[in-house]
Amino acid sequence: MSEDQNQTNPESTQQESGFKAFWNKPLKMSDKEIEKLRKKGKEIKQKTVGSEIISWVLTIVTAVVLALLLRTFLFEIYGVDGRSMTNTLLDHEKLFCTKIDYLTGQPQRGDVVICHYPGRGNTAFVKRLVGMPGDTVEMRDRHLYVNGKRIADPVKMGTEPNYYFYEYTLKDNEYFVLGDNRGNSNDSHSVGPISRDMIIAHVRTVIWPLSNVRAVENEFTEVTE
């Protein structure tokens, strides 16, 4: 190794020294901050640029982790894209949806849910759950029948269904979802049943626009004929 390679690079040393000076540069504490620490009986330590940067980084990381946990396990905001749930839900409305109730319990017939479809990846759809495992579902004469009983149409149903399907008995881990705008909805009548793990959230409230804030109700009532 040559003598030149053994020598320390003065420019590199200067840069390192400059960084250390910046990192350890003391920050002035206000009298209010000092008094607050004294009242709490805490040791008054001089803040530095480095310690302040670390504090901000930890705060941001903590906030991001908490946000991810909330989104994964507690709730999430979804937007309506389309008219498959008209007039129960309108295009571009924002929905407050809970997740924890489906992590600790089971969805119920009549719930409005956020779900996925087979072969559609993580694309989210909003529909009404009308059939559970073991149920027999059928659409005839423009009306839904579950287990042989006619089910009342959604209170704010859009168009009537322009299709029919014969009785189908849902297997274990099969769920049937329909849009409330039944004449204009891509749902289980066309894509088939979905599995339990595809039901990811329970739609609770419309939160935007503010003029349309309202609760989203469970609707599943047998018609007495």
Hey, which residues are catalytic here? 84, 127
R_g of the chain, CA atoms, integer Å: 29
Category of 100 on φ-ψ map: left (φ > 0), alpha (ψ -120 to 50) or beta: alpha
For residue 203, what are its two tokens?
Answer: 């739609």
**Which of these, 111, 123, 121, lies nearest to 201 by C-alpha position?**
111
User: Distance (Å, rounded) from C-alpha 201 to C-alpha 196?
Assistant: 11
Listed in order, strand segments (DSSP E) in 80-122 are: 94-98, 112-115
